[in-house]
Chains A and B, each alone.
Chain A
């Protein structure tokens, strides 16, 4: 970026920043969640959502309403907003938006490859793919047998190509390798990923050296923390590593506390916090990322509540993660 880019920020991106802040103001509030939790049926949920900024987004759905319908419609709405942002953005913000779609693209590719392994039809899996991560070549993913195949044939022209350069191998794509590939590709949200990888690797045949190769090489943990993490064998040891970091210590302390939170929940909460904080500053692109992430969390919350309602599983309905 240029020196003192703040001065010129509004010339190019002022409109979009204003827009995204407006969109953020339309996120569901605590009061909305309290009302949503009281809903008896999905119809009630729909009626309450009508009074929020979601408006009539479910109006054209035929009865009976299902959770997946709500989910798809919400996704559609988010994608609509995202596409609007992207179509109206200028460089370098447009590149930033492209980067934002990368994680969804990676997820989609992995999903498709897993599907191909399990011999599922492409159409079935395509429905599950996140619409933000769609690209034309995506559906041909299943012709690849090795990662280099995948790269050379399909991904070389996509924005994903630079990510793949490091993980070319001639291994055949079995389930473990796909999972490894996914973890090698993700180079962002580094610290959380490192912790989660470590946690998930307990009790698997993944060797410590292999595990270390999966860690992203950035973030606060890099490099000492990662080296320590690589040697960790159980949760308590992991916690001891985290204790060295002021940011993560309280998070690990919160695990298992009130309501039996898992590490993932705690990280989600922390993420929401950080995303909300992103709006405290002006003139940066972080708000766009933060907005999409917050909206996603909101969708997860609504879907969670909707699931609880439809399965009549009210005891856990309150474990959504409030945003504002």
Chain B
């Protein structure tokens, strides 16, 4: 079966469905799950598509279902259906709508009733607590005052004044407020009433329930005492503002008591009513919960079908719907059957027509999986989905992935634990699957259960090989090493035993190593050795290198099958073969060395065994004279040289040739497509509307799209297009000149100081000293004197120039414009180059260098900005890049002039620099485009998209 190793063959078909049957057919295909629909209406707005109304109705059903779900939350668990419902017929939507709308209406009514009831319940409870609290409050206070009233009235004012006024002039307001608003409420009251009120509050112990949100709310009861009508108004307004509820609270205690009794009675009545409405609501919800899931699935399925239908075309007569589908060729029969079934269901008589279509676009990759391979396929897909019909690495991964994991994991005890866990998941698969957990971590493990199973098995295997079980070794067959011979031949004795901490077994001593390796895996004696880790690490590392290289070679061989399958001889010759040569010559040879060394050396000669690593490194250095590293075998030098040369040859072979061939092919294809396009337009103009004609036009449409794509990216030719030719050439001259001048100045200033060239008098003496040959300086290969501290000062000050005058430069760029400011700075650079020739004091020299450095830096700033601004976005990177490479050329030339020519003729070098700068200045002045204030362009023809921010102040003017 080829399809295990490659992705399946796909086929693009046009599907003609009768309008009435379309829904059922698509639904049947959906139940099958083997068809991918192409969106044929990419350019149509989502709300202008054919079945948008149906989608909308589905959405409103979904809304009702969500409402029901919210209502059920935390109250009733939704029952999962045994079996998922089939896609409902379109007419079922109406029944669903009526059922759901009725349910929604009833539930809303019930909710409203309940809310109203709960609200009055809340108010009554609040009032009840309020009355109780005020009762307590007044009782404690009035008891006191009554005593005092009887005894002595004059002491009244000295007492707590509040209760006395309660009966008399003071008014009071009592209410309930949310606890979190209490603090600011209190402060505001105090501020507004200027402290002329008395507020008493207490926390309500029982938490209440908000009738709408059903959240728990905590409230405070407060009583405010105040004097006078104005304050009462203010207090009332503030209470309103803070949404505090004010309750009427009668002043006489008896009335309060009466009221409390009344409220208690009403509360009891209310509770019975509330329980009744609640049970009614519960009944409604139960009803909804029983069917909720199947409703939800039905609506989702309907919506999905309509979404697919929205992707289809409708023919001119409105009689049939045209869909384009991708499906695996192998399943064509099942798909036809499903279509027929859909047709029967809808009661239509017209058989759906399926015709194959040729397509230029690559078909989608489809790898059929089952529950075992799915996990592995997922891992492979995470790294990248293969192209259509490419070899699918997943089947190999089934073994290699768990095996490589186990090589790393390598402990049979832990492996058993893993195996058991995986086994539990695999054996209870059905039960666990039906639980449908939404825990992401659990689902990750569960979907990888077969992977974990295999990893467990392989870990046990490698664990046994490593002889590791929970980091302990088994000694099943008995170790091949023996300690006794070491004593027998006298190497060890009791004296040594006492004195040395570590004893080393010498396998060269006869009898110490039996000669028969431990039958399976690592000898358990290593578990006792102090160098266990060193030994095992080296061993495992080599093993990993071998496994890794084998795997890479295997991967490359798989690519060979791809190349053969797709008949790409080019790839075989230019990719596969050099890749193989490269990897085998270098890493294949490394493998050879490892194995060779294992076989070649034994215990007796192992002290003299050469290091593979050093050999491998020396191989690249062609170094064979290393006395500490003896050759592995004869003719090693010849073999290795040959291998390295082969590897080196394969690099350009692999990387250089293919791009050029591809480019040539692409050019040819472009030319052809242009010709086809011309033909096609003629066809269309000729009025051919036959299917083949349509097909070509569809084909060229794609080609046109490709072409447009390319057009958006800039091409090198665009730079030399008539529109930008002059600019480009001039910019190149300027870049060349600027970098030439910049690096020239930097190198020259060092040169000037080194040789004291400045005033022309010293060079002769210098030269004379050199010829005399007895000067100290002439000993050094460069005829120069060492820098004095003053030279460093000069250098530092002149370097500061690059930064110091930047602000001036920025001002210039923004106000004079890019061209003018560049021309000015370039001209000044030329001038200062010539000025260097004048004999001045050292301060003068510093000044000139400072200015020069400032100017050359300014030139660079300006040209960077200008180049970025002058090209449209599509070409900007290209323009900057080519200019940058010109700049490198200038930089490369500069040292020859500023160091070599300068030593020959100081004036000549300066004049050369200066004249280059003049050329640049002229070039800058005559640049055809000024970019100051101009908006950045997206492409040659594109509209303005954004406005570039100037470096300083102001915004560019709007056009």
Contacts and interface: CB of A to CB of B under 8 A. Distances in A.
Most buried by B among A48, A136, A246, A250: A136
A143 B234 contact: yes
Contact of B955 (A43, A138, A157, A277): A277
B47 A136 contact: no
Contacts of A137: 184, 188, 241
Contact of A142 (B184, B241, B947, B955): B241
A142 to B, nearest CB: 6
Interface string A176-197: 0000000000000000000000
Nearest to A34: B45
B958 interface: yes
Contacts of B181: 136
A22 to B, nearest CB: 18
Given A39-B47, A47-B52, A280 B954 contact: no
A270 B957 CA distance: 10
A38 B59 contact: no
Nearest to A254: B958
Contacts of B45: 35, 38, 48
B46 A273 contact: no
Contact of B191 (A43, A138, A153, A273): A153
A173 interface: no
Interface in B136-190: 181, 184, 187-188
Most buried by B among A47, A51, A152: A47
Interface stretch (B60-68, B714-722, B888-896): B60-68
A299 interface: no
A273 B949 CA distance: 11
Given A43-B56, A153-B188, A157-B187, A143 B237 contact: yes
Nearest to A47: B47
A139 B238 CA distance: 8
B177 to A, nearest CB: 12
Nearest to B233: A143
Interface string A115-143: 00000001000000000000011111111
Most buried by B among A40, A48, A137: A137
A251 B959 CA distance: 10
B711 interface: no
A276 interface: yes
A43 B57 CA distance: 11
Nearest to A276: B946
Nearest to B238: A140
B63 A62 contact: yes
A152 B55 CA distance: 57
Contact of B241 (A35, A39, A122, A280): A122
A247 interface: yes
A280 B67 CA distance: 44
A23 interface: no
Nearest to B235: A143
Contacts of A45: 47
Nearest to B184: A136
Most buried by A among B60, B62, B63, B234: B63
A60 interface: yes
B60 A63 contact: yes
A113 interface: no
Interface in B296-340: none
Given A63-B60, A143-B234, A153-B191, A250 B241 contact: no
B242 interface: yes
Interface in B936-957: 946-947, 949, 954-955, 957
A213 to B, nearest CB: 28
Interface string B266-294: 00000000000000000000000000000
B958 A273 contact: yes
Interface in A154-212: 154, 156-157
Interface string A27-49: 00000000100111001110110
A231 interface: no
B532 interface: no
Contacts of A136: 181, 184, 242
A171 B188 CA distance: 22
B237 A140 contact: yes
Contacts of A51: 46
A50 interface: yes
Contacts of B66: 59-60
B46 A140 contact: no
Contacts of A152: 191
Contacts of A25: none
A90 interface: no
A60 B68 CA distance: 12
Interface size grouping (class) on chain B:
20 to 34
Nearest to A135: B184
A296 to B, nearest CB: 20
B224 to A, nearest CB: 14
B59 A59 contact: yes
Contacts of A218: none
Nearest to B945: A324
Contacts of A19: none
A280 B958 CA distance: 17
A276 B192 CA distance: 45
Contacts of A251: 958
B228 to A, nearest CB: 15
B74 interface: no
Given A47-B56, A250-B957, A273-B955, A141 B241 contact: yes
Contacts of A281: 949
B261 interface: no
Interface string B412-454: 0000000000000000000000000000000000000000000
A188 B60 CA distance: 45
B446 to A, nearest CB: 30
A247 B241 contact: no
Interface in A49-77: 50-51, 59-63
A273 B52 contact: no
Contacts of A40: 47
A48 B45 CA distance: 8
Interface string B222-265: 00000000000010011011110000000000000000000000
Nearest to A51: B46
A54 to B, nearest CB: 13
Most buried by A among B66, B67, B947: B947
B195 to A, nearest CB: 12
Interface string A279-310: 01100000000000000000000000000000
B75 to A, nearest CB: 19
B46 A48 contact: yes
B780 interface: no
A185 B498 CA distance: 94
A280 B55 CA distance: 41
A250 B955 CA distance: 11
Given A140-B188, A143-B192, A273-B958, A60 B241 contact: no
Nearest to A41: B47
Contacts of A142: 237, 241
Contacts of A254: 958
A176 B370 CA distance: 78
Most buried by A among B47, B55, B947, B949: B47
Interface of B: 45-48, 52, 55-56, 59-60, 62-63, 66-67, 181, 184, 187-188, 191-192, 234, 237-238, 240-243, 946-947, 949, 954-955, 957-958
Closest 9 CB pairs of A and B: A140-B241, A139-B241, A44-B47, A47-B47, A143-B237, A153-B192, A153-B191, A280-B949, A35-B45
Given A142-B237, A280-B949, 10 more contacts: A50-B46, A60-B67, A63-B60, A139-B240, A140-B192, A140-B238, A140-B242, A143-B238, A153-B188, A281-B949
19 contacts: A38-B45, A38-B48, A43-B56, A47-B56, A48-B46, A59-B62, A61-B63, A136-B181, A140-B241, A140-B242, A142-B241, A152-B191, A153-B188, A153-B192, A154-B188, A157-B187, A251-B958, A274-B955, A276-B946
